[in-house]
Structure 1
Amino acid sequence: MSIEHKHVAEIFPYDGSQIDASWAFREFGIYGSSIITWVGPVNITPDNLKDFADVGLEIKSNYMINFICEFFDCQPANMRIAYLRQRLLVMIFREILFEKGVETKREGDDIFVDGRKLSISIATASLSSMKIHFALNLEDKGTPDDVDTIGLFDITDEDNNQIFDDGNLVDLVNETVDRFILELETIENDISKTNLL
């Protein structure tokens, strides 16, 4: 499976409409499976909520790194596979944080640092594709008052030095996407070389 990654330098908001099918094609002319990443605020409007459990809740942040993944390799689209890939992406990101000395806790598709919520995520499927939105706070600003949150830029090492900043954010994004794509590709390779019983 070929997956194209595009990191968009322009800052723009995520309002939930980007989870719609073929958004990457409509917005950027990208055919096929893709991962689009960018920095921007998040404020999901009620008409774009996909998770019934989130109805009536505020999902917002002033400053996040956003990942929108879309896959066309499974027809018809499979919601279970979409959620499994979402969890894989979350776990890969946790692995990278661990390698950089950041201890985390995972609850479902949510990542916590020092008991504070770092990420949001949703997976869904349309008639034609499977989609994932995964986003991480960069700063603890503009998030719901009833949620204790943390941003990547708020995380420090033992000497109280900031671990992540604007200088290494894109590298962190690229490393995450590269590992995710590699994992999906190796799964495809393993399938192709496995002798069926």
Structure 2
Amino acid sequence: MKIIHFKSISLLIEEEKITYTGKELEPLWAFERYSIQRDSIVAFRGKIEVPLENMKDLKDVKEEGFRSKALITSSDAINFIVEHFDNPDLKITYLRQRLLVLITKEVLEEISGKRIVRRGDDLYYKGGKLSVSIASRGISSGKIHIGINISKKGTPPYIKTSSLEDLGVNVEEDSVLDIMESVGRRYGEEMDKIEEDIRKTKCLF
């Protein structure tokens, strides 16, 4: 486990594999598991198995709910869990999610040399869905999840998917950890820069 503290957020890179089930979107998950009592972005590798009861996207539930008890699945993925405690409304949380998705796209394009397409909060490669993502908020914090398929194995058969393997990215353990750190660092740096910009800008009135 590796922890990098920025001024406004902490990045934790977990070396052990964890299965993402959607429960990780509960408030204070990073504090309960890792004792991080501030804004955080936690990166880990593992399966994605989100059952119906943990789904936060009502549109997905209504469209796909009859097909499988585990609607969001992948046998191997990179996962990021972000939590902010500055009482963000849902719109700000979704804007932060888009920023994280764009940073992920930027990092993966630099590594692979391939063009990745973003549509909303999803990434695609050659028409195949490369990622899953959700933003939500509770009483105390806003939460974000993004998962990037390392392999297409275990992804839903009724959805065309793509993966880091399709991009030709090295998916050995050290390389995946480097991707986690690159994305997490850029997000942390963006959060710090935004905070700095807020504190240098004069009001209009």
Do the two structures share a fold, i.e. TM-score over 0.5? yes
The normalised TM-score by structure 2 is 0.88
Task: Give, in whole Å, the separation in 2 of the partners of 1:90 and 1:194.
Answer: 27
User: What secondary structure does 2:134 align onto?
Assistant: strand
> Percentage identity across aligned positions?
39
2:160 aligned to 132, 148, 151, which one? 148
CA deviations on 1:17-69 (whole Å, 9 max, x unpaired) are 00000001111111111111111111111111111011116111111111000
The normalised TM-score by structure 1 is 0.92
Task: Give, in whole Å, the separation in 2 of the partners of 1:138 and 1:24.
Answer: 23
Residue 97 of structure 1 deviates from its aligned partner by 2.2
Residue correspondences, number: 189
Unpaired segments ≥5 residues, structure 2: 1-6
Q: Which residue of 2 aligns with 1:90?
A: 101
Task: Give, in whole Å, the separation in 2 of the partners of 1:102 and 1:128.
Answer: 39
Task: Give, in whole Å, the separation in 1 of the partners of 2:107 and 2:31.
Answer: 29
Contact 1:112 1:119 in 2 (8 A): yes
Unpaired segments ≥5 residues, structure 1: 157-162
Instruction: Report the residue type matching 2:135 in the other structure.
Output: A
Task: Give, in whole Å, the separation in 1 of the partners of 2:51 and 2:145.
Answer: 15
Contact 1:21 1:126 in 2 (8 A): yes
Residue 149 of structure 1 deviates from its aligned partner by 0.8
Task: Give, in whole Å, the separation in 1 of the partners of 2:144 and 2:186.
Answer: 16
Contact 1:14 1:44 in 2 (8 A): yes
User: What secondary structure does 1:59 align onto?
Assistant: strand
- Is 2:203 the partner of 1:190? no
- Is 2:77 the partner of 1:70? no
Q: Which residue of 2 aligns with 1:42?
A: 48
Matches within 5 A, 1:7-26: 7-26=13-32
Task: Give, in whole Å, the separation in 1 of the partners of 2:147 and 2:105.
Answer: 13
Structure with larger RCO (C-alpha < 8 A, sep 6+): 2
User: What secondary structure does 1:134 align onto?
Assistant: strand
CA RMSD, Structure 1 to Structure 2 (Å): 1.2
Matches within 5 A, 1:40-189: 40-55=46-61, 56=65, 58-72=71-85, 74-75=86-87, 77-100=88-111, 101-156=113-168, 163-166=169-172, 167-189=174-196
User: What secondary structure does 1:168 align onto?
Assistant: helix
Task: Give, in whole Å, the separation in 2 of the partners of 1:25 and 1:185.
Answer: 21
Residue 164 of structure 1 deviates from its aligned partner by 2.4
Residue 112 of structure 1 deviates from its aligned partner by 0.3
The runs of at least 4 consecutive aligned structure 1 residues that moved more than 4 Å come to none
Instruction: Report the residue type matching 1:137 in the other structure.
Output: N
User: What secondary structure does 2:152 align onto?
Assistant: coil
Contact 1:155 1:164 in 2 (8 A): no
Task: Give, in whole Å, the separation in 2 of the partners of 1:186 and 1:4.
Answer: 14
